[in-house]
A and B are shown apart, each in its own frame.
Chain A
Amino acid sequence: MSQESLTPAELLQQRNRRTGLTIFQISWILVFVCLVIVNWQLRGNHPSWPPPGVNAPSALLPGLATLGLLASAWLARAATRSLAAGSRAAFRRQWRAALALGALFLLVMGYEWLSIPVSGIYSDVFRMMTAFHLLHALAIGLFMSMIARGAGAGRVSAQNLWPAEGATGLWYFVVVAWLLFFPVLYLI
């Protein structure tokens, strides 16, 4: 979208929205940081983690899902750029692909959540963290699918870029939050 076409008031609004989104991202990501710290303190109390008799879940499937999530964020970014460049068709294609990969991630992690055996504190922490992330991913994913519909109806366009831009920012947030969680839950 050309910056020159904006009135000063619209410019201010755009600046405010971007600043606001950044501050929200910084703030809310700290909830995830808090939960990572919780994970660390709890495992620090146990001589071995997972505790004896509990099997750590395999990282393979969630690892692939993580790659899918990264690709999804990349697609969302590309879609927003396409929209800004005025190409609605490219936007819808890329945005739908991003949504599909996001849905795949949700399905895999939903399966992981259901399949972890309940085993006291280990599964408590695991299920709490994955569920907390899943809820965020789901809510923001739904918001993104509403934008897909909005784009179909012509409500989201190069002239009204912010919904797509904001949703992409939130989807980045989901990715960063997951990049905090994934190593703690599966790798370390």
Chain B
Amino acid sequence: MATITATPGLGSRTTEGAAIRAADLLRWSLDHKVIGLQYMASSLFFFIVGGTMAMLIRWELLTPALDLMADGTQYNALMTIHGSVMIFLWIIPMMAGFGNYLVPLMLGAKDMAFPWLNAFAFWLIPPAGVLMIAGWLVGPPEAGWTSYPPLSTLFSPDGQTMWAMSLHLLGVSSILGAINFVVTIRNMRPAGMTIWKMPLFVWAVLATAIIQVLATPFLTGGLTLLILDRTAGTSFFDPGSGGDVLLWQNVFWFYSHPAVYIMILPGFGMVSEVLAVHARKPVFGYRAIGLSSMSIALVGFTVWAHHMFTSLQPALRIPFMITSMIIAVPTGIKIFSWLGTIWGGKIRFTAAMLFALGFITLFVFGGIGGIFLAAVPVDIHLHDTYFVVGHFHFVLFGGSVFLIFAGIYHWFPKMTGRRMNERLGQLHFVTTYIGTFFTFVPQHIAGALGLPRRVAMYDPAFTNINTVISLAAFLLGISSLIFMYNILRSLSHGERVGGNPWRGLTLEWATTSPPPPWNFRGDPVPFDDPYGYGSDESGPYLDAVERRFPAPEEAAGA
């Protein structure tokens, strides 16, 4: 491997210089770094779109009656698109963006295994996004992101078909991207990097890709049937003509539960990196973290019906409760291992580290809520209430999104050569943390007290708690604006950095920031232990990296 000098089939680089300009993001490019940034930029765009919808939803819910929306249909359309955009066009592609940017760098490779396929997978996303949003023009989907028939087949307008086609494209994109990751990670590790020396982020991407490869085909199958039912007059989900509404629920959740891990596992990988680097301490229990990613991925395939505890045949509910409870064990191992990582470290309170620490404290709350929902008798009461809404926002916002923020603060210097503003980062963290806590904790309580999810009108008894939730949600909206401002400002005004501003040991730091078109000049040799912080060898190694890729002179930078 180390002798490769030119890789055929990788195509020419459109970016001749090291810096990737905004205009490059709008062009077809085979460079994994450009593609990674394309994923991230489009995801951030959809984050704003979905976030605006969230603000409208919370505005509507300030009062028990319908006031902002003309009717319930409008509200249902809004929450359907909000959910679909946030899941399929924000978190999943954002994680794919991190994977695309970082995996080849962490492996010391020049690019992904299949650069053309990589670009193709990304370029499926913009048309899918257009299809999803343009549904509004023909009558938006209004059956929720879960789109249970018969509401989604016999009662929902044409936008529902476009929604399904959009998800179809995103599913194909996701499978193609995942194949690329598996091949890259399996075949293109540098000499000396066994799987037990891979960075944990690479482990997590591998586990995620395995899930995507094995689960997404079921989404494809289910959506095919849904589209046929809506357009070709078939009746797979129409019980009036011999179909079965539970069929969709089973197929949908067989994909969508594993999809939950598609959204969080790459984040688990990122937090392992961030905690080790900013606590200056080796990851505690490296193998346990890597293997728990894999076991979460595998056990994740056996728990789907816990989303159906109130519709599944009663006799089948208990087995799914048991598998769902088991997931808590590998998740617990991870949390304890992260605590072990910071314990005894020298913690630097960078914005990345703040979000990583904030993630631990929030995610554990989400995890505990998950145990409540796994216990069948309790879930019978909590199912489809705001408790569930609070729970999955805790793990997706307090989990995935916090980790995305941490990842951006951590790798922004690598991607741009500039650091993000730490003061704004701290402000962003404080507002986000408070906003998250006071948006989603009260949602748990409201749900347990009797507030169902997906309602535009509600019992006036819940007015006060909904007001608290909405105000906290508005704070989250403001915090996201601070974040966007920080990104835009740091792109041009951020402090210039060298190759390794955080003194990290993984390979992506052993090149310039941003890396040159083929990532490395010469063949990088990975440090033997990717988390060898505090060891005698790491100091000289990091000093050498720093000398080789120094920060530009401030005079030159200014």
Contact = CB atoms under 8 A, between A and B. Distances in A.
B182 A9 contact: no
A132 B225 CA distance: 11
Contact of B213 (A27, A37, A41, A124): A27
Interface in A25-64: 26-31, 33-35, 37-38, 41-42, 45-46, 51
A88 B349 CA distance: 66
A27 B235 CA distance: 27
Interface string B181-209: 01110111000000000000000000000
B236 interface: yes
Given A23-B183, A120-B242, A9 B5 contact: yes
B218 A30 contact: yes
A169 B1 CA distance: 26
B114 interface: yes
Given A31-B221, A34-B217, A9 B8 contact: yes
A181 to B, nearest CB: 13
Nearest to A29: B217
Interface in B219-276: 220-222, 224-225, 228, 234-236, 241-244, 246-247, 250-251
B214 interface: yes
B242 A121 contact: yes
Interface size, B (range): 35 or more
A28 B218 CA distance: 9
B243 A42 contact: yes
A69 to B, nearest CB: 22
B217 A42 contact: no
A16 B217 contact: no
Nearest to A119: B242
Q: With a 10 A CB-CB cut-off, give which of A8, A9, A46 has the most chain B CB atoms.
A: A9
Interface string A1-35: 00000001110110110011001101111110111
Given A45-B244, A120-B242, A124-B235, A19 B221 contact: no
Given A30-B218, A31-B217, A121 B241 contact: yes
A146 interface: no
A27 B188 CA distance: 21
Contacts of A8: 1, 3-4
Interface residues of A, number: 34
A89 interface: no
A15 B114 CA distance: 12
A20 B114 contact: yes
A45 B8 CA distance: 54
A14 B175 CA distance: 21
A9 B221 contact: no
B222 A27 contact: no
Contact of A46 (B117, B180, B234, B242): B242
A128 B7 contact: no
Contacts of A51: 242
A132 B187 contact: no
B8 A30 contact: no
A41 to B, nearest CB: 5
Nearest to A118: B233
Contacts of A185: none
B183 A20 contact: yes
Nearest to B224: A132
Nearest to B233: A124
A180 to B, nearest CB: 13
Contact of B221 (A23, A34, A120): A34
Contacts of A27: 175, 178-179, 213-214, 216-217
Interface string A56-78: 00000000000000000000000
Interface string A115-155: 00000111011001000100000000000000000000000
8 contacts: A8-B1, A9-B7, A19-B186, A23-B183, A23-B213, A31-B221, A124-B228, A128-B236
Interface of A: 8-10, 12-13, 15-16, 19-20, 23-24, 26-31, 33-35, 37-38, 41-42, 45-46, 51, 120-122, 124-125, 128, 132
Query: Top 5 nearest A-B pairs by Cβ distance?
Result: A121-B242, A34-B221, A30-B217, A16-B113, A31-B217
